[in-house]
Each structure stands twice: as structure tokens, then as C-alpha cells.
Amino acid sequence: MSAGSTYRLQPYLFVLPALILMFVILILPVMVAAVLSFSDYSLGNSSFDWIGTDNYDKIVSRSRYEKMLWATGLYVGVVVPLSLGLGLGAALLINSLRWGGDLYKTIYFLPVMAALLAMAIVWEFALHPTIGIINDTLASFCDVQWLRAWEWYDHGCKDSFPLWLGEKKYALWTVCFIGIWQAFGFNMVLYLAGLTSIPRELYHAAEMDGAKTAWDRFRLVTWPMLGPTTVFVVTITAIRSFQVFDTVEAIFPDGGGPGKSVYVMMFVIYEKGIKENLIGMGSAITIVFLAFVLLMTLIQYRFVNRRTHYA
């Protein structure tokens, strides 16, 4: 081999270990899961049968898997935009403070630092119908007359407050609230980093061009300059929302909450693949999960990333 050929191969040799590691850790497991999703394989069995698309047919035809898709989609659809909006709002408020900003950063970031499993148990106790601090706090407002205009609140004061984690119509929304509480602090820190990178000269130039109000400055300068940060925040938050598991497992260990209303995808993968040892079914749900993440990434590239201006 000539010296020129060796020189041309050197860059590929440098990246070869990383490519091998990526293949072994990322690509190969996905390929194995894709193959197993067309079988009825279970750990411990010496053989298994190929069943074609039966596992995927069950996902789109059985009611429990329809609940899985609905719960996962609703969770992602609620947590991502609300945690993004709250994170951006908190970042803008903290960035405008002259003092005390570090204190608020610490307070809002505490949920991110805490173990989500432990926090889920804390929320379970806080939302307990009899000893929970949430209902005790709401009960202290029962004498406020204007709150009685809300029928559900007046009913709660007279009889009992909702079973936040025990009723089908409240359980998923309560888990969404916990997810937003846990996620928006992380988004706030990312947006704060993005805000600090915006040159002050742009605001002065915008003000000279007629952007006198705070809304005008946000619309014309802040939001466009936060485009790359927003792309990253949306991607990370959406993927983490699809991966919600700790909260559901800690609060509803018996299986997806009341009426399978919190039967999210990662919990189903754990239930089928680990608890019930249905590796084939668990692999099929995993492939569907990866397909959702890929679809979300493509949609983001089409509607968000292509409209983002990078400095």
C-alpha cells in the first residue's frame, strides 16, 4: 500500500473505534429487537416461532395498546409545550432580575437534581385523598365564595376532593403535572444559556428601529435568536417525555393506573418484556417507540429546524 493511500485512510482509522462502538451499543440492539419483534420469543426458551406481524397487529387492534398510544401521545402533547413555555417564561423573568436570580435558578432547578423516583413517591403522599397536603390546602379555601362558582370545587368542599391518582379522568393529568414540574427547570436553564448568548447590541438596534415595547423586542430579537436553543429544548423534552417511566412505576406499580389511563409506552415495554417475559411483544413495542421518536425528529426538522437561523 502506497504512502498516499495510507494517508487517505488515516481519518477513517481514527473514527473506526467510535463507529464500532456505536454499532455494538446502538445499532445492533435495535436490529436484534426488530428481528425479535416478529417472533414469540421469551427468555429461557430454547426455540421460538416466527409469527410475522402478529405483535404489531395486536398493538393496533387491542384496546389496551390503544390506551397505551393515547396515554403516551397525550402525555407528550401536554408536557412538551407547557414545560417549554414555562421554562422560557421563567428564564425571561430571571434574566430580567437585578438581584436574586441565582436563588430562583436554584429553586426551579431542584426538581431536576432530585431523583424522579423519590419525587414520585413524595407526590403520591402529597396527593393522598386523606393525608395529602394538596387536599388539605384546597380544604382551607372552602369558605372562599368565588371559588364555589366552580361546580367541581363546590362539590369537593361539600363531599370529598377528587382522587387525583385514583380516578381515571384525573390520573393522567396529574402525572402530566408532575412531568411538567420536573421538566421545566431544565428547560429554564437551557433558555437562560441561550439568553446570555444574545448580543445586547441587537436590542439597541431594534429599539432604534422602533421596537419600543418588551413584546416587540421579544418578537423581533429574542425569539428568533433563541431558535437553536428551542430546537434543542424541543428535541430533548420530547424524547424525555416519551421515556416517562419512573413516575408511573412508582405511583402505579400494579399496571398503568385506574382503567389503564396512565398506560404509557415505556411502562408497557417493561411490563411485557421484563415482568411477563414476552420478549417478542416487548421488542415490537420498542420498535414502535423508536418509530415515534424518529417521526418526531423528522417533523421537527421539517417545521422547526429548517426555519431556524444559526449564527
Asked if residue 12 is part of any domain, the answer here is no
Asked if residue 296 is part of any domain, the answer here is yes
pLDDT tens-digit readout, 66-101:
889 899 999 999 999 999 999 999 999 888 887 877
Mean predicted confidence (pLDDT) in 33-50:
85
- Residue 217: pLDDT over 80: yes
Asked if residue 28 is part of any domain, the answer here is no
**Grid cell locating 23:** 454499532
Asked if residue 247 is part of any domain, the answer here is yes
- CA–CA gap between residue 252 and residue 260 (Å, rounded): 10
Asked if residue 200 is part of any domain, the answer here is yes
CATH assignment of the domain containing 247: 1.10.3720.10
The pTM for the full model equals 0.83
pLDDT tens-digit readout, 260-311:
888 899 898 988 888 888 899 999 999 998 998 888 878 777 766 555 555 5
Residue percentage of the chain with pLDDT more than 90: 19
Q: How confident is the model at residue 7, as a pLDDT?
A: 66
Residue percentage of the chain with pLDDT more than 70: 88
The range of the structural domain enclosing residue 73 comes to 53-127+164-307
Asked if residue 70 is part of any domain, the answer here is yes
Mean predicted confidence (pLDDT) in 16-40:
91
Quote the number of domains for the chain. 1
Asked if residue 157 is part of any domain, the answer here is no
pLDDT tens-digit readout, 142-152:
655 555 555 55
Asked if residue 209 is part of any domain, the answer here is yes
Mean predicted confidence (pLDDT) in 241-247:
87
